[in-house]
Homo-oligomer: A and B are copies of this chain.
Amino acid sequence: MKAEIHGGATILEPRPNLTPPRSWRRWLIGNPLPTADAPHQTIGKAVGLAVFASDALSSTAYATQEIMVILAAAGTGAFSYVFPISLAIVALMLIVTFSYEQTVHAYPSGGGAYIVARDNLGELPALAAGAALLTDYVLTVAVSVSSGVSQVTSAFPSLYSQRVWIAVALVGLIMLINLRGVKESGITFAIPTYFFVVSMFLTVGIGLLRYFTGSLGMVPNPPVLDLDTLAVVTPFLILHAFSSGTSALTGIEAISNGITAFKEPRSRNAGITLLWMSGILATLFLGISFLSGKIGAIPSERETIISQLARTVFDGTGPLYLAVIAGTSIILILAANTAFADFPRLSAILASDRFLPRQFTFRGSRLVYSRGIVALAGLASGLIILFHASVTRLIPLYAIGVFLSFTLSQAGMAHRWWKSGHVRPGGEKVEAGSVVHYDPKWAMKMIINGFGALCTLVVMFVFAATKFKDGAYIIIVLIPLVVLTFYTIHRHYRRLADKLSLEHFSSPRRITRHRVIVAIAGVHRGSLEALNYARSLSDDVTAIHVSIDPAESQKVREKWSSYGDGIRLVILDSPYRLLVEPIMEYLDNIIAKRQPTEMITVVVPQFVTNHWWENLLHNQSALLLRFALLFKPGVVIVEVPYQI
């Protein structure tokens, strides 16, 4: 141990090998990392695309299918609407992209919806955005993993009945990987992401080529569409299908959260990456939607649209087909992994703002926010089990939170531009801890962000209305409840801080007198040790014994006369065989009579057994007594352990 004197305090450095002892945990999670090891490295555009795009790009795996699921109610004829609806979604995507491109430049240190809303709109909108994002991350994991598993079961139908447990096991695996800590960079992300992009471009490219040369056939043995009654195509149905398709936009905000990870000039690099990502996403999504209609694909829980498309384009389930399935499954898993980076980070920010339990700010042995990771895995697994790993049943819960956070983030940006138009040119203004500079193009920028906010707001309402009874109502109820929980937690911490505050604090009154009470169950070495300690604290010592069994109490009295050394023994009669209550009643009497500078100390002898199971052989009265005494103001608890 090395000691160092520093600013009045002694600082002790521990032995270098002082690490947590639990070895099974270390085997699972890895050796603990010291705080000083926190890594910081930056990445270029190509790797940045791989790291941040998986969530957005992976939505191409299910967005088209979810549009078709809704239209299927009106029969296969309605599938002609898939492509026009997809075009509308891409238009929305471009609006949101340009809007976020501005955020990337305005918030070079990372502009998630929570931070943007907090800086520019205030606490309530920020918390609403936070609640929306947290729910959204949980759903990203549930939807992505469920969709990934459904790709696999499309290729291997015999696994279909096990899909829920496969999905839960995958969530567990991703959790473990994240508890070990992943470096958000490099080859781990780049290879699968680009593998997916290449294989999908190949599928869509060859598909289009074969379509325009007339050699693309229909899906062989498509899944059966089981339909009891045939609905007609109404505007509501179209809007409903559009809402489902907006799941294609999820994940588009990821880059704006992670700008700090980019090489300088980071805003510029991040902005370009965002544009590239949107371009790829739009192209693939439109291509898949277009081809799905042409080949007569049928949406089904049993076989995904991607699977049907790939086996039609590649004439069967050969290596190219398997490559597409593998690529799609893996990118979906990576998308879930993105949420495992974002959820813990956001919950740590919320916790350090005192809206979530502070445990979320602690870094685990591998320097990651372990509690957030475990919480996310637990919540997502719960959802997967509850919704039987069905993407179609999860989707109605999904996009509403995404669009709420889009709206709040863009509205916040719009408000920011308005403010920056009202700072004198060249100057700056600090508001709510955030610095706003004058921007000559503020009006244009405000219009772009404002228009984005308006569009996403409208989409959110369309989504909520069309999908209300499919499950959107759950989120509409949940988000306000989460916000309420944030406030409740905040109030607790604020009250605590007030109570602990040293403002107007005068030193506590010097304790001049100790009154010590020793609670004994029997007269033995353990209780005499406790008595000895008690006598070293004060001359005013009383032993108390609760009489439950008269024979036992008689023995205590007899032994006390030999070993009690003249100390007063009070026997508390307990006709109802209660232990804690008579002690509390006795203490109440003493507390009522105590002097202002007198301190009451209760000494409790405590056996310590060698093996945990031996505790089952004792009735833990010391522990019970401790919990009861904690709630008595003005009483200090002393535990004298007696190791056996």
Which residues of chain A from 312 to 349 have any CB-CB distance to chain B below 8 Å in the complex?
none
Is B630 touching A492 in the complex (CB atoms < 8 A)?
no
For A123, list chain B residues within 8 Å (CB): none
Is B525 touching A510 in the complex (CB atoms < 8 A)?
no
Is A570 touching B9 in the complex (CB atoms < 8 A)?
yes
A44 CB–B CB distance under 8 Å? no
Q: How far is the CA of A489 from the CA of B615 in the complex (A)?
A: 11
Q: How far is the CA of A32 from the CA of B363 in the complex (A)?
A: 49
Q: How far is the CA of A550 from the CA of B614 in the complex (A)?
A: 40
Complex partner residue of A10 from B6, B365, B571, B629, CB under 8 angstroms: B571
A423 CB–B CB distance under 8 Å? no
Q: How far is the CA of A560 from the CA of B11 in the complex (A)?
A: 14
Is B585 touching A14 in the complex (CB atoms < 8 A)?
yes
A440 CB–B CB distance under 8 Å? no
Instruction: Across the interface, name the chain B residue whose C-beta is closest to A550.
Output: B35
Q: How far is the CA of A223 from the CA of B633 in the complex (A)?
A: 71
- A500 and B514 in contact (CB under 8 A), knowing A357-B616, A585-B18? no
Count of residues in A whose CB is under 8 Å from the partner chain: 105
B interface footprint on A630-644 (CB within 8 Å = 1, 0 otherwise): 111101111111111
Is B640 touching A636 in the complex (CB atoms < 8 A)?
yes
Within the complex, what minimum Cβ distance (angstroms) separates A482 from chain B?
15
Binds B, one of A253-261, A473-481, A529-537: A529-537
Is A626 touching B644 in the complex (CB atoms < 8 A)?
no
Q: How far is the CA of A13 from the CA of B574 in the complex (A)?
A: 7
A426 CB–B CB distance under 8 Å? no
- A365 and B573 in contact (CB under 8 A), knowing A20-B581, A523-B502, A636-B640? no
Q: How many copies are assembled?
A: 2
For A12, list chain B residues within 8 Å (CB): 570-573, 582, 586
B interface footprint on A584-614 (CB within 8 Å = 1, 0 otherwise): 0110010000000001010000111100001
A433 CB–B CB distance under 8 Å? no
Within the complex, what minimum Cβ distance (angstroms) separates A623 from chain B?
9
For A607, list chain B residues within 8 Å (CB): 496
Is A576 touching B537 in the complex (CB atoms < 8 A)?
no
The binding surface of chain A is classed by DSSP as mixed
A91 CB–B CB distance under 8 Å? no
Binds B, one of A167-175, A239-247, A449-457, A561-569: A561-569
A493 CB–B CB distance under 8 Å? yes
A214 CB–B CB distance under 8 Å? no
Within the complex, what minimum Cβ distance (angstroms) separates A469 from chain B?
32
For A565, list chain B residues within 8 Å (CB): 507
Q: How far is the CA of A561 from the CA of B502 in the complex (A)?
A: 13
Within the complex, what minimum Cβ distance (angstroms) separates A263 from chain B?
28
Complex partner residue of A561 from B8, B14, B36, B601, CB under 8 angstroms: B8
For A422, list chain B residues within 8 Å (CB): none
Is B511 touching A525 in the complex (CB atoms < 8 A)?
no
Within the complex, what minimum Cβ distance (angstroms) separates A336 from chain B?
27
B interface footprint on A27-70 (CB within 8 Å = 1, 0 otherwise): 00000111110000000000000000000000000000000000
Complex partner residue of A574 from B14, B510, B533, B571, CB under 8 angstroms: B14
Q: How far is the CA of A247 from the CA of B165 in the complex (A)?
A: 45
Q: How far is the CA of A358 from the CA of B621 in the complex (A)?
A: 13
Is A489 touching B576 in the complex (CB atoms < 8 A)?
no
Complex partner residue of A505 from B528, B569, B639, CB under 8 angstroms: B528
A619 CB–B CB distance under 8 Å? yes
Complex partner residue of A576 from B34, B492, B496, CB under 8 angstroms: B34
Is B508 touching A528 in the complex (CB atoms < 8 A)?
yes
Within the complex, what minimum Cβ distance (angstroms) separates A574 from chain B?
7
A210 CB–B CB distance under 8 Å? no
A221 CB–B CB distance under 8 Å? no
A19 CB–B CB distance under 8 Å? yes
Complex partner residue of A575 from B9, B36, B537, B581, CB under 8 angstroms: B36
Is A524 touching B500 in the complex (CB atoms < 8 A)?
yes
Complex partner residue of A20 from B14, B533, B576, B617, CB under 8 angstroms: B576
Is A582 touching B14 in the complex (CB atoms < 8 A)?
yes
- A576 and B18 in contact (CB under 8 A), knowing A12-B571, A505-B525? yes
Instruction: Across the interface, name the chain B residue whose C-beta is closest to A643.
Output: B633
A15 CB–B CB distance under 8 Å? yes
For A507, list chain B residues within 8 Å (CB): 528, 532, 565
Complex partner residue of A536 from B20, B514, B638, B641, CB under 8 angstroms: B514
- A9 and B560 in contact (CB under 8 A), knowing A14-B574, A565-B507, A578-B18? yes
Instruction: Across the interface, name the chain B residue whose C-beta is closest to A559.
Output: B502
Within the complex, what minimum Cβ distance (angstroms) separates A17 from chain B?
10
- What are 23 pairs between A and B in contact, CB < 8 Å? A6-B557, A8-B557, A9-B557, A10-B569, A11-B571, A12-B573, A12-B586, A14-B585, A18-B585, A33-B576, A34-B576, A358-B617, A362-B619, A496-B607, A499-B525, A502-B523, A502-B525, A505-B525, A507-B565, A510-B532, A533-B599, A533-B636, A633-B641
Give A contacts to B, CB under 8 Å.
1, 6-15, 18-21, 32-36, 357-359, 362-365, 489, 492-493, 495-496, 499-502, 505, 507-508, 510-511, 514, 522-526, 528-529, 532-533, 536-537, 547-548, 550, 557, 559-561, 563, 565, 568-578, 581-582, 585-586, 589, 599, 601, 606-609, 614, 616-619, 626, 629-633, 635-644
8 closest pairs, A vs B, by CB?
A: A500-B524, A34-B575, A511-B536, A508-B532, A9-B569, A11-B571, A32-B576, A637-B639
Q: In the complex, given contacts A14-B581, A500-B522, what are 16 additional A-B residue pairs having Cβ atoms less than 8 angstroms apart? A: A8-B561, A11-B570, A12-B586, A14-B574, A18-B585, A19-B576, A33-B576, A35-B548, A35-B576, A35-B577, A358-B618, A492-B614, A502-B525, A508-B529, A633-B643, A636-B639
